[in-house]
Amino acid sequence: MPPANLIDGRAIAELIHSETAQRIATLKARGIEPGLAFVRVGEDPASQVYVGMKERSSTRLGIRSTTQVLPTATSESELLQVIDRLNQDSQIHGILVQSPIPSHINSAAIYSAVSPGKDVDGFHPVNMGKLLLGDRSGFVPCTPAGIHELLVRAHVKIEGAEVTVLGRGNIVGKPMAALLLQKGRNANATVTLCHSQSRNITFHCQRADIIIAAMGVAEFVKEDMVKPGATVIDVGVNRVADPAAKGGTRLVGDVDFVNVQGKAGQITPNPGGVGPMTIAMLMANTVRAAERVTL
């Protein structure tokens, strides 16, 4: 069987960036410069890398960004004060508090403190509630939104499809399921949401037209779990031991890509699949926030 077609997240993300850049140019012609604030607490290496990537994308597109780095020992009240100040800043249209947040801080309280209109990460309860209700006026979390765009732009049939989402997290799994089961265009799927307590996950995967793997378990999805011709989206980022790799470890997804690729109809590479789309949707959400403020 010939290799499955790759869904090129980098190429699709660049297309979205070009569309976002045109919207930014329209705003700037009216004297409006979209502004995005990043808040990072502590020195988590992965967080530093992720924020750096988002900063570079902002600069390239012409979004003015600012980053506030706070010590790990920052209290919850101090972080809330920073968010309140950004909420009041009319030059800031989007606010992103980078996860993970130190464990002594209630992350739910932090995400709830960001103004819903500036919540370009889509984690505020108001935006999550709008997503569940099918209210398109809210912001959708960036990774599920990016996966949805991948499916649509790769011409994957969503309407009526059997979709298995692996993982029930608030960042990907739950909002992804809500997005795909909505009554509307590029939705109307039948969604099965599996998690660590689900029985016979293999059965649910084998009948799926689309598998979205976001469990955080290295190479969990094996070839025998995938129906021939199914679309497979790999969200996971897992570090595994590899003596042959630099530093003794390497990153893999939640899908056994080498073996699944030949059976799937379409599949995302990892890296190069979902990751670039998450950033693309963050930039698009920020511009949308600026457009809404200036209507």
Kindly list the catalytic residues: 54, 98, 121
**Torsion sign, CA atoms 268, 274, 275, 276:** positive
The helix (run of H) or strand (run of E) holding residue 6 is strand 5-6
Joined together, the tokens standing for residue 45 give 């290496």
Residue 172: beta bridge partners?
A: none
Q: How far apart (Å, rounded) are the C-alpha atoms in residues 189 and 191?
A: 6
From residue 60, how far is each of 14, 64, 159, 165, 274 by CA, in Å? 12, 10, 35, 33, 20
Task: Report yes or no: 175 and 164 within 8 Å, Cβ to Cβ.
Answer: no
Amino acid (one-letter) located at 214: A
Looking at residue 228, the DSSP 8-state letter turns out to be T
Q: How far apart (Å, rounded) are the C-alpha atoms in residues 32 and 290?
A: 8
Plot region of 46 (φ>0 → left; ψ -120 to 50 → alpha; else → beta): alpha
**Closest to 177 measured CA to CA, from 185, 44, 169, 76:** 169
From residue 133, how far is each of 53, 182, 206 by CA, in Å? 32, 8, 29
Residue 241: beta bridge partners?
A: 249
